[in-house]
Amino acid sequence: MRLAYFPATRALVAQLLGACFVVLLNKIGVLYGLPLLALASLQGVFAALAAALMRADRWWLPLHLVFLPGVVAAAGLGLPAWVWAAAFALLASVYWTSFRTQVPLFLSNRKTVATLSAALPDGALTVLDVGSGTGSFVRAFARLRPDSQVHGIEAAPAPAAIGAWLARHQSNAHLSRGDFFAADWSGYDVVYAFLSPVPMAEVWAKACAQMRPGAVLISNSFAVPDVAPDGTLDVADRRKTRLYCYTIGAVKEGDTPRPRLIWPTRRTAKKPHPITITAR
């Protein structure tokens, strides 16, 4: 995606436009004598208007309104500069490329991991969590399925380091730092994703290109656009998590994906493992 299309780029442009308007009005003397906080609030109003004109999502507008007034108010606290630098470094190490990927950090809960673990067939599986955060999924799944090898790849340095440290005593949990789009997914029975709606089409394209027929892609909460899942799993948690399950079909490029459904859509007492993974 080109840089100009990122919501964060548009937000920056809106902020700059807001600042330009205020500077311009100040130059011609319209705002003479107004205190700094009032000028900052006016900049917020102009920035929000500019963002609305650029069709930013609605939730950006209050952020634009309060951003510069917030900065001015915080500057009044008189904290040393290193506090702001440290806060920036901390946030950057956690959110890293979120401004570009549009995938923030939030974690899978235990009920979700347990539900998925129970739905997958018994036996040793190779599992990859794409965007593994602090390794919540990888560590919990590896504990529930000690015969399986569970890998996670995370781009942001702080969550990746925390995850690797927390998993240091689990021999079947492997957490590393990197870009999951650059990794090879061909050796995995299951790829698990808990990302955002933005990368799902690309994730699906990569899964179809690299995963073997019969392997499964599981997406927590975010469906692949324009592709019907082979089944869904509803987790009995507070946020009513839904897992979208896609079986990779034996398809060639250009074919319609999912030529055979090996995911039963309903769970029955006779079939304790609704997700079927065909042998290699």
Ligand X SMILES: C[S@@+](CC[C@H](N)C(=O)[O-])C[C@H]1O[C@@H](n2cnc3c(N)ncnc32)[C@H](O)[C@@H]1O
Closest chain position to ligand X (CB): 131
**Residue written as token pair 């401004």:** 99
Q: Toward ligand X, which CB reaches closer, 29 or 184? A: 184
Site for ligand X contains 155 (CB under 6 A): yes
Window contacting ligand X (CB under 6 A); options: 11-19, 39-47, 69-77, 149-157: 149-157
Beta strands in the chain (DSSP E): 126-130, 149-154, 173-177, 190-193, 216-220, 231-234, 242-247
> H or E segment at 94?
helix 81-95
Instruction: Verify binding: residue 137, ligand X, rule CB under 6 A.
Output: yes
How far is Cα 246 from Cα 275, in angstroms, rounded to an integer? 10
Which of 18, 44, 69, 133 forms a contact with ligand X (CB under 6 A)? 133
Dihedral over Cα of 12, 73, 98, 109: its sign: negative
Phi first, then psi, for residue 7 (nearest 5°) are -55, -35
Nearest approach, Cβ of residue 202 and ligand X (Å): 9
Q: Is 189 in the site for ligand X (CB under 6 A)?
A: no
Cα separation, 75 vs 96, whole angstroms: 25
Among 108, 148, 221, 247, binds ligand X (CB under 6 A): 108
Q: How many residues lie near ligand X (CB under 6 A)?
A: 23
DSSP state of 53: H
Toward ligand X, which CB reaches closer, 105 or 227? 105
- Window of 23-31, 177-185, 231-239, 245-253 that interacts with ligand X by CB under 6 A: 177-185
Among 136, 149, 221, 241, binds ligand X (CB under 6 A): 136
Q: Which of 18, 69, 131, 229 binds ligand X (CB under 6 A)?
A: 131
Looking at residue 216, the DSSP 8-state letter turns out to be E
Q: What are phi and psi of 55, to 5 degrees?
A: 60, 40
Query: Does 106 interact with ligand X (rule: CB under 6 A)?
Result: yes
- Could you tell me the smallest distance in angstroms from the CB atom of residue 199 to ligand X? 7
Instruction: Please give the C-alpha separations between residue 129 and each of 30, 175, 180, in angstroms, as whole numbers.
Output: 56, 9, 9
Among 148, 154, 211, 219, binds ligand X (CB under 6 A): 154
Q: Which residues bind ligand X (CB under 6 A)?
A: 96, 101, 103, 105-108, 129, 131-133, 136-137, 153-156, 159, 179-181, 194-195
